Structure 1
Amino acid sequence: MVHELPIRVYYEDTDMGGIVYYANYLRYIERARSDWVRSLGVDQNAMREKDGVVFVVRRVEADYLKPAKFDDELLVRTVVKAVTGVRLIMSQEVIRGDDLLFQAEVTVVCIGEGGVPARLPANIRRRIH
């Protein structure tokens, strides 16, 4: 399963040199994951209210390869690598044209009230497979 989200780099995303500030790549990939979940038909507010669980990032391993700059058109590509009862592991890339700028492996889990680990809801696991 592959999801792609186009993103434009705005002035507010950059540092004084017009280069995308490193933490904004994490925002870009978060935005892409949220868009991907929505595209699956999952309402995260309803998931929290009905199932009592929310998604949280457990781990991110990231590589910054090339800089993105003001006004660049980027593509964030998300690929599900593994799904278990308790975690999703995704590969995410930020691309400009043919250039890979950033890549990350992200592990997402669910937690319930009080931060207690929880299983991924079955209906979500079925939609991802």
Structure 2
Amino acid sequence: MAQSTPRPDASVRTTPSHRFDIRVYYEDTDMGGIVYHANYLKFIERARSDWVAGMGVDQRAMKEKDGLVFAVRRVECDYLLAARFDDRLEVLTDVQSVTGARLVLRQQVVRDGEAVFAAIATIVCVTDTGHPARLPANIRRILH
């Protein structure tokens, strides 16, 4: 059965909105020297955090002032090639869509221009009590 991969909508940019460099350390690998599958999620999380900070969004202040935090609602991912100890990787992040309540990002981990991992991450905001909330207007403005 063929798997369907989500297609970007018309709002997708042709170039990534953010690039983040990663070096694979020994601790990132399994016994075979290959990046352990869960670590790709850590790599894309670091890239998202760096991307948000680079846009001038202070997540600490957002929590303290508005009582809002970002949360990952869903991640759909494909493991394409093995990355190994000491590889130099780059995480590419671009916006797939933005609505009042969610942000959908396409992220790829690449080595020498070739994708080794691809993911679609859906990000939402929640209150301190864990209830869903709209994305702050200033963040929606930055992303549009």
Aligned length: 129
Cα deviation for residue 128 of structure 1 reads 1.2
CA shift at 1:114, angstroms? 1.3
- CA deviation profile, 1:49-105 (whole Å, cap 9, x unmatched): 111100000000000000000000000000001001100000000000022100000
Task: Measure the CA separation in 1 of the matches of 2:141 and 2:54.
Answer: 14
Aligned counterpart, 2:3: none
**Residue aligning to 2:7:** none
Paired AA for residue 50 in structure 1: K
Q: CA deviation at 1:113?
A: 2.2
* Contact 2:20–2:91, Cα closer than 8 Å, also in 1: yes
Describe the SS at the equivalent of 1:127.
helix
- Work out the CA distance in 1 between the residues paired with 2:68 and 2:58: 12
Q: Which runs of 5+ in 1 are unaligned?
A: none
1:15 to 30, 53, 58: 30
Q: Counterpart of 2:51 in 1: which secondary structure?
A: helix
Gaps of 5+ in 2: 1-12
Residue of structure 1 equivalent to 2:128:
113
Aligned partners of 2:75, 2:142: CA distance in 1, in Å? 23
Counterpart for residue 126 of structure 1: 141
Tell me how far apart the structure 2 counterparts of residues 69 and 123 of structure 1 sit (CA, whole Å).
39
Matched residues in 2 for 1:99 and 1:46: separation?
37
Q: For 2:83 and 2:116, how far apart are their aligned partners in 1?
A: 7
1:4 is aligned to 19
Deviations 1:32-54 (A, max 9, x none): 00000000000000000111100
Q: Structure 2 length as normaliser, TM-score?
A: 0.88
What is the SS of the residue equivalent to 1:115?
Answer: coil
Runs (4+) of structure 1 moved beyond 6 Å?
none
> Percent same amino acid among aligned pairs?
64
Map of 1:66 onto structure 2: 81
* Counterpart in the other structure of 1:34: 49
Taking only aligned residues, the RMSD between alpha carbons, in angstroms, comes to: 0.7
Which has a greater percent of helix? Answer: 1
